[in-house]
C-alpha cells in the first residue's frame, strides 16, 4: 500500500522526465538532415536533446564538421513541421511512470506539468499519448510570457496557484527544473535517466531517483 504523501502537489517536467521523446525527435532531426542533404544521425540523440530543437539541430550539424546558420534557418521549419505532424507517435513514458502516477492520484495528490515546450505542443503531446487527463494543469514555456519560463520561479508559483495551493515538489531532469524549484522555495527530485547535460549529482536536487519505482519513497523521504 502507498503511504501518506507529504505533498499536496507534485509537478513534472515533460520531455526527458515523463516521456522519452528522444525517439521521435531523432526521426524529425534525421528527416531535416536528409532534406538538407546531410547524413543522418545514427544511435541515440539523448545527448543532443533537452535544450530546444534549434540547439539539437545545431549540435547535430556541428558533429558533422560545421554549422551553416543559413542552413539552420532553412532546416528548422522542416524539422518542426515533421515533429508536430508526428507528435506522440513514438514517445513512451519512462519505466514505472504510469504506476507511480496512479499511486499518487490514489492518495489525492494533484499532478501538474511545467515544461519549457510551448504550451499548445505540450497539451497536444500529452493528449496524443493519452495522459492529458492525469494532470490538473499544463504550463508551457510561453504560458507566463517572454523570459518567464524555467529556470524562473514564475511557472512553479503558477502551478501551485492553479492546483489550489499547498505543499509542492517538482520532478525534472535539468538544471532549469531544479533551479526553478529552488527559486520557488520547493524541493526537487532529479531523474537520472533523463536528457542530462551534466552529471545528475550536479543539478542541486533535493533527491535523485534512478527509476520511477523510487519516486514515492523519495517524496516521503524529503517531505
Distance separating alpha carbons of residues 86 and 98, to the nearest angstrom: 22
Query: How many alpha carbons lie under 13 Å from residue 215 in its C-beta half-sphere?
Result: 27
3-class SS at 207? Answer: strand
Which residue out of 13, 154, 173, 177 is catalytically annotated? 13
CB 41 within 8 A of CB 84: no
Task: State how far Cα 23 lies from the chain centre.
Answer: 14
Q: Tell me the backbone φ, ψ of residue 168, rounded to 5 degrees.
A: -135, 155
Contact 164, 3 (CB under 8 A): no
DSSP for 79-120, written as a single string: HHHHHHHTTTTT-PBPTTHHHHHHHHHHTT-EEEEE-SS-HH
Cα–Cα distance for residue pair 6/222, rounded to 1 Å: 9
Instruction: In whole angstroms, give the CA distance from residue 174 to residue 205.
Output: 10
13 included as an active-site residue? yes
Which active-site residues does the annotation give? 13
Amino acid at each position: 500500500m502507498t503511504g501518506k504523501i507529504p505533498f499536496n502537489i507534485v509537478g513534472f517536467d515533460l520531455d526527458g522526465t515523463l516521456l522519452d521523446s528522444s525517439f521521435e525527435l531523432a526521426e524529425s532531426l534525421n528527416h531535416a538532415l536528409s532534406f538538407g542533404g546531410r547524413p543522418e544521425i545514427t544511435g541515440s540523440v539523448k545527448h543532443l536533446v533537452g535544450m530546444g530543437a534549434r540547439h539539437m539541430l545545431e549540435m547535430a550539424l556541428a558533429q558533422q564538421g560545421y554549422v551553416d546558420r543559413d542552413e539552420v534557418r532553412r532546416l528548422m521549419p522542416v524539422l518542426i513541421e515533421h515533429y508536430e505532424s508526428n507528435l506522440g507517435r513514438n514517445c513512451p513514458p519512462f519505466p514505472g511512470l504510469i504506476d507511480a502516477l496512479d499511486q499518487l492520484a490514489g492518495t489525492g495528490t494533484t499532478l501538474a506539468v511545467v515544461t519549457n515546450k510551448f504550451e499548445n505542443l505540450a497539451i497536444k503531446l500529452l493528449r496524443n499519448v493519452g495522459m492529458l487527463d492525469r494532470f490538473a494543469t499544463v504550463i508551457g514555456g510561453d504560458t507566463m510570457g517572454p523570459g518567464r519560463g524555467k529556470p524562473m520561479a514564475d511557472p512553479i508559483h503558477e502551478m501551485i496557484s492553479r492546483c489550489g495551493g499547498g505543499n509542492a515538489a517538482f520532478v525534472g531532469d535539468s538544471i532549469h527544473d531544479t533551479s526553478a524549484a529552488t527559486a520557488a522555495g520547493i524541493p526537487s527530485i532529479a531523474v537520472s535517466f533523463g536528457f542530462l547535460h551534466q552529471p545528475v549529482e550536479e543539478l542541486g536536487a533535493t533527491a535523485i531517483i534512478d527509476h520511477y519505482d523510487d519516486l514515492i519513497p523519495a517524496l516521503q523521504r524529503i517531505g
